[in-house]
């Protein structure tokens, strides 16, 4: 077979040209494409690092804002509690003053009512004594037939009371 003997001659030159083309492609890619790809990867890595740093800064800022918010809320709550306590104390003071005024007014009315009751009692006793004296005078006249003066009947009724 004559083709087999030519195999090394034909394939040797093809193998040489194949290695030459692959070497040119390899060095072409290594010199032109690899730096571009490396630059793209480095840019992407830098962007990711910058984004992570910006996110951390934003997170720290958000944490600071939240802390300030909580401090403000707690201060507002404390202020509100103080104002409520102050309002309660003021309302209690006003209520105590109103109760004292009402107690004074009720005391005055009770004193006036007591004085009126004493006056009415005295008037009623005077009238009862007068009626009792009149009745005693009539009873003595009816029972014994003796005549008793109005002054003596009053004196006897007063002594009995």
Q: Would the pLDDT of 4 be above 80?
A: no
Distance (Å, whole) CA 82 – CA 98: 24
- In the chain, where the domains are located: 2-160
Residue 28's pLDDT is 86
Q: What is the mean pLDDT of residues 7-22?
A: 83
pTM of whole model > 0.75?
Answer: no
Angle at 112 between CA 111 and CA 114, to 5 degrees: 60
**C-alpha 161, offset from chain centre:** 70
Give the model's confidence band at 11: pLDDT under 50 very low, under 70 low, under 90 confident, else very high: confident
What's the pLDDT tens digit per position in 56-87?
Answer: 999 999 999 999 999 999 999 999 999 999 99
Two structure tokens written together for 136: 């005693």
Give the model's confidence band at 49: pLDDT under 50 very low, under 70 low, under 90 confident, else very high: very high
């Amino acid at each position: 077979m004559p083709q087999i003997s030519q195999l090394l001659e034909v394939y040797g030159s093809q193998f040489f040209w194949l290695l030459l083309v692959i070497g040119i492609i390899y060095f072409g890619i290594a010199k032109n494409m690899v730096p571009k790809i490396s630059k793209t990867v480095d840019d992407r890595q830098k962007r990711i690092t910058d984004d992570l740093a910006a996110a951390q800064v934003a997170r720290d800022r958000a944490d600071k804002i939240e802390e300030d918010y909580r401090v403000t809320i707690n201060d507002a709550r404390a202020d509100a509690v103080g104002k409520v306590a102050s309002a309660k104390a003021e309302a209690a003071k006003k209520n105590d003053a109103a109760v004292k005024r009402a107690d004074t007014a009720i005391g005055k009315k009770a004193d006036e009512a007591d004085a009126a009751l004493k006056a009415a009692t005295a008037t009623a006793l005077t009238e009862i004594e007068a009626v009792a004296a009149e009745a005693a005078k009539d009873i003595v006249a009816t029972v014994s037939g003796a005549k008793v003066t109005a002054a003596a009947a009053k004196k006897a009724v007063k002594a009995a009371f």
